[in-house]
């Protein structure tokens, strides 16, 4: 499996899902992610899996809930408006401690918006767009290879921590084609799903999957348990990439496509003799706070770049040492709004 193949980011997601053993895909078309259902409508049935183009995103997320409750790996994918519609279902999954993968290829909003690249759904993804104060795992690939690898990781983390996991990319990463190695799923040990509904087969006790928690103190205890699980995630699963940070006097931070663009800008800055490094969070939830804390212990200038008017900036500010200055450069989504490396270099020059 080490021959390289040249595929779209979205296709890499679909291929990785199959490699991860997804049994059910439920989704509804929406640009710029429709390649995912299109690929899976073709390939998933060949593996004996189920593909349903559902009547709506709401139906889709609830089928994921059902299939996941039944103990199989299930997923859905969407963008902007469709992800908004799934919020109730995601909240139920979180409340029912169900795994399940949701792929969000962000497009511009609010409303119908348009299909250009956006990172303005960071809050929605990381703060729980649904009700109840839950969180989900959020992974942010910046290349087609990572689309593949992180999709597999999303399934594993989701199963291990029993919570929904999201692959969050923008349309640049979703639509881009690159050569990747279609790695096999790593042999991560996974917990047995003894909580799944199976029709009490093999004489098992009744299993119930639910989010209703009415007992005295039951829900409160659940919240603290979730909180502890989030802390465990933060400790064990925070992932990030550092580039040229060792001697950096200024840190640029960005995720997804913006990080790609920033990296080229940093090459330019280095060429001009500026000691600039990149801190790219790979997990957005858990946010790799430790990396920010560590770097900001010695480097006091940060520049956060986002395709929005500023969302991750909150997490950055909450993570760095108190005396760090965090500047922001935003290019909210829209036709022609993607920043160029030249433009980011200009911003670096201003702040350096």
- List binders of a copy of itself among 210-249 (CB under 8 A): 210-224, 226-227
CB of 261 to another protein, least distance (A): 4
**Pairwise CA distance, residues 67 & 70, whole Å:** 5
Q: Segment contacting another protein (CB under 8 A): 13-21, 31-39, 226-234, 246-254?
A: 31-39
In this structure, are strands 283-285 and 276-281 parallel, antiparallel, or unpaired? unpaired
Name the residue nearer to another protein (CB basis): 42 or 223: 42
**Pairwise CA distance, residues 101 & 82, whole Å:** 15
Q: Segment contacting ligand TPP (CB under 6 A): 26-34, 39-47, 159-167, 308-316?
A: 26-34
Residues 306-345, one symbol each (x = binds a copy of itself by CB under 8 A, - = not), give --xx-x--x--xx---xx-------xxxxxxx--------
Point out which residues pair with 176 in neighbouring strands.
none
Contact 175, 9 (CB under 8 A): yes
Residues 282-311, one symbol each (x = binds a copy of itself by CB under 8 A, - = not), give --------------------------xx-x
Q: Segment contacting ligand TPP (CB under 6 A): 25-33, 123-131, 220-228, 251-259?
A: 25-33
**Residue 172 neighbours by CB under 8 Å, 6+ apart:** 117, 256, 257, 260, 338
Q: Segment contacting ligand TPP (CB under 6 A): 22-30, 60-68, 189-197, 204-212?
A: 22-30
351 lines the binding site for a copy of itself (CB under 8 A): no
- The DSSP annotation for 9-26 comes to HHHHHHHHHHHTT--EEE
53-82: contacts with ligand TPP (CB under 6 A): 57, 81-82
Task: Report the Cα–Cα distance between both ends of the chain, in Å, rounded.
Answer: 44
Contact 20, 185 (CB under 8 A): yes
Q: What six digits make up the tokens of 102?
A: 């949701």
Check the CA dihedral 218-60-123-241 and report its sign: positive
CB of 131 to ligand TPP, least distance (A): 10
**Pairwise CA distance, residues 304 & 317, whole Å:** 10
Check the CA dihedral 86-91-97-103 and report its sign: positive
Q: Which of 222, 343, 349, 351 binds another protein (CB under 8 A)?
A: 343
| Total chain residues near ligand TPP (CB under 6 A) | 7
283-342: contacts with another protein (CB under 8 A): 335, 338-342
DSSP state of 114: B
Q: What six digits make up the tokens of 99?
A: 């795994």
In this structure, are strands 101-106 and 137-139 parallel, antiparallel, or unpaired? unpaired
346 lines the binding site for a copy of itself (CB under 8 A): no
Contact 201, 71 (CB under 8 A): no
Name the residue nearer to ligand TPP (CB basis): 57 or 104: 57
Name the residue nearer to ligand TPP (CB basis): 82 or 288: 82
Q: Which of 49, 95, 100, 277 binds a copy of itself (CB under 8 A)?
A: 95
236-255: contacts with another protein (CB under 8 A): none
Name the residue nearer to ligand TPP (CB basis): 150 or 166: 166
145 binds, among another protein, a copy of itself, ligand TPP, none (CB under 5 to 8 A by kind): none
Q: Which of 338, 307, 336 is nearest to 140 (CA)?
A: 307
- Name the site residues for ligand TPP (rule: CB under 6 A): 28-30, 57, 81-82, 85
């Amino acid at each position: 499996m080490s021959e390289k193949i040249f595929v779209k980011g979205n296709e890499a997601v679909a291929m990785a899902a199959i490699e991860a053993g997804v049994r059910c895909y439920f989704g509804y078309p929406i640009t710029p992610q429709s390649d995912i259902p299109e690929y899976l409508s073709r390939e998933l049935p060949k593996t004996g899996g189920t593909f349903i183009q559902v009547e709506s995103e709401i139906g889709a997320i609830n089928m994921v809930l059902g299939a996941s409750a039944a103990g199989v790996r299930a997923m859905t994918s969407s963008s902007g408006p469709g992800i908004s519609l799934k919020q109730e279902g995601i909240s139920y999954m979180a409340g029912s401690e169900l795994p399940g993968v949701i792929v969000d290829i962000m497009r511009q909003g609010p409303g119908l918006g348009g299909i250009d690249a956006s990172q303005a759904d960071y809050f929605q993804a990381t703060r729980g767009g649904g009700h109840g104060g839950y969180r989900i795992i959020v992974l942010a690939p910046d290349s087609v290879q990572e689309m593949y690898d992180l999709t597999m990781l999303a399934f594993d983390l989701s199963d291990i921590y029993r919570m929904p996991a999201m692959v969050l990319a923008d349309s640049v990463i979703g639509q881009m084609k690159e050569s990747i190695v279609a790695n096999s799923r790593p042999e991560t040990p996974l917990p047995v799903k003894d909580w799944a509904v199976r029709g009490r087969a093999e004489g098992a006790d009744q299993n119930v999957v639910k989010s209703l928690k009415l007992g005295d103190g039951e829900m409160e205890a659940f919240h603290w348990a979730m909180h502890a699980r989030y802390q465990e995630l933060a400790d064990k699963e925070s992932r990030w990439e550092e580039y040229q940070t060792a001697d950096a006097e200024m840190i640029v931070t960005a995720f997804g496509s913006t990080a790609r663009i920033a990296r080229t800008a940093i090459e330019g800055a280095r060429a001009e003799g500026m000691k600039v490094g990149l801190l790219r969070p790979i997990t957005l939830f858990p946010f790799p706070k430790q990396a920010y804390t560590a770097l900001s212990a010695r480097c006091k200038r940060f520049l956060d770049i986002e395709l929005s008017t500023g969302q991750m900036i909150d997490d950055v500010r909450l993570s760095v040492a108190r005396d760090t200055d965090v500047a922001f450069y935003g290019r909210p989504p829209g036709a022609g709004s993607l920043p160029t490396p030249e433009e980011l270099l200009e911003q670096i020059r201003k702040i350096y």
